[in-house]
Structure formats: structure tokens, C-alpha cells
Structure 1
Amino acid sequence: MWKRNLINKFQTSFAQQSNFDGLIISDPVNLTMITGIRMMFLQTMKNYCVYVLWSHERKVLICPKSLSSSFSNEGWNDNIIVYESCLDPIQKATDILIEEIRYFFRAGSNLGFEGTYLSQKVFDRLTEALPSVHFSDSVNFITDLRQIKNETELNNLKQAAEIVDHGIAGAIHHIATIQSKTEKFLTEDIRVHSLERGLHISGYNAVSQAISGDKSKKLWANPPKFGIGNETEYREGELLRLEMCGMVNNYWANDARTLLKGKLNNVQDEFFAKIADLRSFACSIIRPGIAANEIYTSILNKANELGLDMIKEFGFGHGIGLEPVESPYISASDPTVLAENMSVVLQLSARYIHGEIITSKDTIFITPEGCEIIGWYENWNAPYTTAYTF
């Protein structure tokens, strides 16, 4: 049902809002948008090349023979052209694409392509072989389509946010002040609790984290252990940064919370009150019609006023949808104007007194009047504090 809704959204927008006679889609995430099928390995395995050539009259998927049954079984019901394994799959798939365009599109047709994904080599090959066809960058059309969500997409995002938040809360309910767990155990506990509540995960993306102390001075510790690979036990009085990323029906949640093993002292209480004030301020200005870089500047000014040492190199948030991090970006360099039914993650990361990075991530929907935080299972204006014992 949700797959058909996603495809129908694309098909309607293509017919009513674009000036293209056809579109060439090869970005793996955009392939998910127009097929409803996620093939995660396409982003890393260059021996696979997949195109969808979409027009008003005909849709054709070009893929290696080894993937054709996967696409068919997952619900692709339109034309499929396969090619055998070869030394240069991109050239082979592009040759087939050229022949399809040559046969089904008239001279002067306007074909859209993904300017940020299609390689210069492939673009040169297309323009050389098809001099009578006009190629136009379709990135703005596709970006707008992905940024503005419909009701089904928002429902998927809401469900994912609720599951992840509940999964984190469910895992930390098992932590007591005098009965500890290791960081490896709690990291896995968060993932398992999220899965038990119906979260979907897949390779290359889904990840959980539960770290404290020196490791929490980095947003993500370096490989191979990624900050989670040992048996460190949490000490009483420590702040733990908890993160979980997963999806429901191809739509993502990207959540971060804080756990305190013990009771809040006055310094901690003051710090988290400032974070809560900053979150409330951010939500008061996020609304349709405001630019992402304007939000960034306002949040930074408010954080300075509160005396918070913010991690600002990556901005204060980003879009979320078919990817856990996508446009728009709440950063100094993104002038994107927010609109109703956009979805963003508000990410507020600040250094605590010893340099530990405390992060809050909230999924936010842009509403007609402003914005709405989605998915809170607990009241996160303060960290979750453990009971003394079970």
C-alpha cells in the first residue's frame, strides 16, 4: 500500500508539475522513491548499474540479470531489460539506455537527469550519442518532491520516530544505579528493543550507540570499534549519550537521548535546562517561510546567549525521509525555505564541562502554523535518570 502511494506521488508530480518528457533515474535513493524498492548495496557495489527511464507512456528498468527477480518479487510490474555480468556494467547499462531513448523519444525531447549523481562520463556519452535530445538537470524537481511529504510518508516517519524513541526508553529502563551494563550490551539492547517494536533495519545505515566518558567527546568514535566495542561499564554520575537510527517502510528515524546513572546535580540540572530552553526557542521559530540558514543563525545566537558551547560544524539539523540525513540542512550555507509538510531532525549538540558531547535529536514536522515534535515517549527536557535498583 505505502509503495503504491509513493509511486503514485511521483507519477502525479511528474505529470502535473514537471516540464520533462522523461526522466533518467540512477541514484539508489531516488530509485527507491519511484519503485518503492530499497536495494541498499547499490550505493556501494559499483559492479551493479541500474537505471529507470520514466516517461508518460512507458517505464523501463534496466538492471543486471542477477537483480531482475529481486525487483520483480518486490513489486516492480513494468518493463525490465536485463544485461549479463560484464567488465563494465555502467557502459553496458548506458548503451541499453541510449537505445531505449533513441527508439521511444522524438527529436527535441526534454529528458531530466540527476546532475548530482550521474557521472560526467555517462552524461558525455548520452549527449554524444543523442545530439537531438535535450538533457536538463532534474535535481530541483526531485529534491522538492522528496522534501515535501504526503500523509502516508508523514505517517511512516511518525511511526519510525515513535518506535526508536520507545526502543531507547525501553532499553534504559533496564539500567539501575547499582546494577550496570557495559556500553556494548546497552548499544545492542537499544537496537533489539527497537526491533521488537517493529523497526526495520538494513545494512549500511542502521546503527545504535551508547557511550560516555572520553568516547563521548566525539560525535562518532573512529573505526574499527566505533566507540562501542569494549566492555566499559558506566559509572554512577556519568552522562550517557544514546543514539539509534532505523526505518519503517523505507522512512527513517534518527534519534539521540541522554541517560544519567544516578541523580541530577545542580550543574547538570542547569545544563539540561539550557538545552531545553534552546529546543523550545528553536521550535518557536521553525515554521513555513523561514530559511534554513536563518534558523541556524538564530539558534546559534540563542545558544551563545545561554552560554552553551555548541557543536556547530555540522549545523543544527537536517531533513529526514528516505535517508536518515538529507536536505534541507539547518546550516549557515543552506538557504532552503521551509514549507508545510517538510520533515527535519533538530540536532542540538553541546559540550558539557569536561568536553563530553551531549546530543538531542528530535524529528519535527513543519505544520501550517509552525512545527511539531514527533515521537516523544519520555519527557526529554531532562535526561532519563536511573532508579537506584530494580
Structure 2
Amino acid sequence: MRDNVNGLISQKNIDALLITDPYNMRYISGFRGGEGVLYISQNQHVLITDSRYTEAAQKESDFTVTEENKEHSRTELLNRCISQDHARTLGYEDCSMLCSDFNKFENELHVEAWTPMGQSVNKLRQVKTPEELDYLRKAESIGDAAFSAMLGYIKEGQTELEVAARLEYEMKMNGAEGLSFDSIVASGIHSSMPHAVPSEKKLEYGDFLTMDFGCIYKGYCSDMTRTIVIGKANDKQKEIYDIVLCAHKESMAAVKPGMKGCEVDKIARDIITEAGYGDCFGHGLGHSVGLFIHEEPRFSMTDQTVMKANMIETIEPGIYIPGFGGVRIEDMILITEDGYEDLAHSPKELIEL
């Protein structure tokens, strides 16, 4: 990891780099606390945090851990590092740093120039390591176990909030540290909203029920969506479900290194469009997942990124019809040297409860 960061420092022609994004802090240093700053140069690797986290930081990271407090502020400690390096140019994460934090650093740190890093630090996380892949597989398997348990729990009369609460309980009982995002549980006409918020609406016979959920395992996220029907599906529901399932399977089957994100998206989008529902699929086909739930690159109409082995992506086509309902099916996949590995193992065919 250090070699990649040091290479980035050389590439950007800067003397040192500040890392404040908590996900990049974890990725680069191993520190999971998320509160603090990394100072990285060719000569120094320093993690500055407060007394709440210093013990954990020393256990989790091989960086030099320095405590900030009333006597020694963060900027004072950073200036010591800068002075030791005689650093003149400092890189910073302009896509995630708050303006107020940047203004403070700019006013108090003794450097001559600031270099915005754009997405260059985040891009270091795109290709996953074997250890990361183990964590991601485990996280997705927790989602599988939770979904399986839910099939024996869900019934008419329950509210979306009750279903969401039980779903989150099942993930935690199967080893989740927490949720990778707020669970989406949408029934009936609510399922036409891709990011619907669970409500007090009760499940009714004939409802679509879309559940989009994910958990965190050792800091890494999972993401999965399944749509089922309460009772028996009607012909229209079956038609829509089959189109989405076809788009899901066909686009997944085509994935391999060398493809662009927009090319994978087009496969699913063309299937849905040719079936007459192109206007009902507004979001991208998928996104990367790692320490954060929505990472780059993406399967979208505009993403020109060339896919590489050991990248993680979601495949999540959908059709959403206001006043009727919607369907989304989502798995996380690993792009392999010659294709893909589906990390989810829950059934994809339409389930009627």
C-alpha cells in the first residue's frame, strides 16, 4: 500500500500528502477509528489522532502514531512533519475535505502550495486485495443468510418498518458489525421508488416487496436486492420481473476484464428498452463496493473505465412504474481474469410467499 501512495506522491510531484477521508485512512494505514489525519511523505508516515483512538491506532497501524491534544494541536503536529521534510507542496483530498477544514489548514500550515488530488487516492482502492475479497465475500454471505431467514418470517399485515427491523436483526445475528446503508424495504406502489424509505404501510396480498440491504464485515460492505411477491403474482408482475431478471443475467454473463463500464450497462439497458420499459430504468446498472458502499468505477451510461480483474461491481437493473410498483435484482460480483464470480447465492427466480 505504501509503495502505491509513495508512487502517487512522485507522480503528482508533491512533497507530502494529507489524508483525511476515513475510508482512505483505513485503507492506507489500517486505522479504523476514522478520526484524525495521515501525513505521508517519502520519509514519514504519521497518524495524528486524539486520546480516544491512540491505543487502537497503535494496534491497527504501523504508522507513527502521534496524539493531538490541548498542548499540541493537529496543525502544530503537522507543521513539525512539514518542517522535518522541508515540504513546500502538500496534496489534499479536495473531493472529500470540508471547506472549513481546508481553510484552517491553508491558514495554519507552513507550505507554499496545495495540490488537489481529485479521485487519485480513491482510485488506489479500485482493485481489491485477496484479504479484501475475503471480507467482501463474507459480507455478501451474511446478506444471503439474512434473506433466507426472511423468507420464513415475512407475511401479510407486517409493516415495511417491521420487515426492515427484522432484516437488520438477521444480518447482525449472522455476524454483521453494522449496516452498509439504511435498508430499503418498499412494498406495493412504494416499490416504484428505487430508494424508498420503510414506512408504516402494511404488506398486502399481491404486493411486490423490494428489499435492498447490506452489512459491514471487518469494515467492508455488502449490497444485495431481492424483489418478491406477497401471495401470487399477476401476469404484469411476472412480465416485469422476467425482463429485469433477463437484463440481470445477460449483463452479468458478459462481464470480463477489458470491458468499459458503459458497455456492461448498455447490455442491460438495451434489454429493458427493447421490452418497452426504457423510461422506467433511470439509474446506472451498478457500482463498485468496498470500504464504502458506493465506490468507483461504475456500470453506467457514462463510465468509460476499463474493468480489471479483482474489481467488485454490483449488477442491479430495475423497472419502476409509478402507481404500479417496481422490481430490482442485485448481486455483487467479482471480476476475474476471464469473467466473473457471483458473490451472492440467494435465488433470483421470482418467489411468491
Residue 300 of structure 1, CA deviation: 2.1
* 8 Å contact kept, 2:140–2:222: yes
* 8 Å contact kept, 1:292–1:336: yes
Residue 25, structure 1, aligned to residue 19, structure 2: yes
Residue 141 of structure 1, CA deviation: 4.3
* 8 Å contact kept, 1:164–1:199: no
Match of 1:383, as an amino acid?
A: L
Shift of the 341–139 alpha-carbon distance from structure 1 to 2, 3 Å rule, reads: farther
Question: In 2, Cα distance between the equivalents of 1:280 and 1:85?
Answer: 57
Among 122, 125, 140, the residue aligned to 1:146: 125
The TM-score normalised by the length of structure 2 is 0.86
- Show structure 1 runs of 5+ residues with no match: 1-9, 43-49
Structure 2 counterparts to residues 1-390 of structure 1, below 5 A: 10-14=1-5, 19=10, 22-39=16-33, 42=35, 50-72=36-58, 75-84=60-69, 92-103=73-84, 105-106=85-86, 112-118=91-97, 119=99, 120-121=102-103, 124-125=106-107, 129-131=110-112, 136-176=115-155, 180-201=157-178, 205-221=180-196, 226-228=197-199, 230=200, 232-309=201-278, 311-352=280-321, 354-377=323-346, 379-380=347-348, 382-386=349-353
Aligned CA-pair RMSD: 2.8
Question: In 2, Cα distance between the equivalents of 1:286 and 1:136?
Answer: 36
Residue 366 of structure 1, CA deviation: 0.9
Shift of the 165–333 alpha-carbon distance from structure 1 to 2, 3 Å rule, reads: same
* 8 Å contact kept, 1:207–1:246: no
Bigger CA drift: 251-260 or 307-316?
307-316
* 8 Å contact kept, 1:364–1:373: yes
Match of 1:214, as an amino acid?
A: I
Q: In the comparison of the two structures, how many residue pairs are matched?
A: 347
Residue 211 of structure 1, CA deviation: 2.2
Q: Deviations over 1:175-230 (max 9, x none)?
A: 35xx643322211111111112112206xx54323221233232234xxxx333x2
Question: In 1, Cα distance between the equivalents of 2:119 and 2:323?
Answer: 43
Bigger CA drift: 166-175 or 139-148?
139-148
Question: In 1, Cα distance between the equivalents of 2:182 and 2:226?
Answer: 14
Residue 95 of structure 1, CA deviation: 3.7
Question: In 1, Cα distance between the equivalents of 2:7 and 2:194?
Answer: 43
Match of 2:292, as an amino acid?
A: E
Match of 1:181, as an amino acid?
A: Q
Shift of the 198–66 alpha-carbon distance from structure 1 to 2, 3 Å rule, reads: closer
Match of 2:22, as an amino acid?
A: P
- Show structure 2 runs of 5+ residues with no match: none
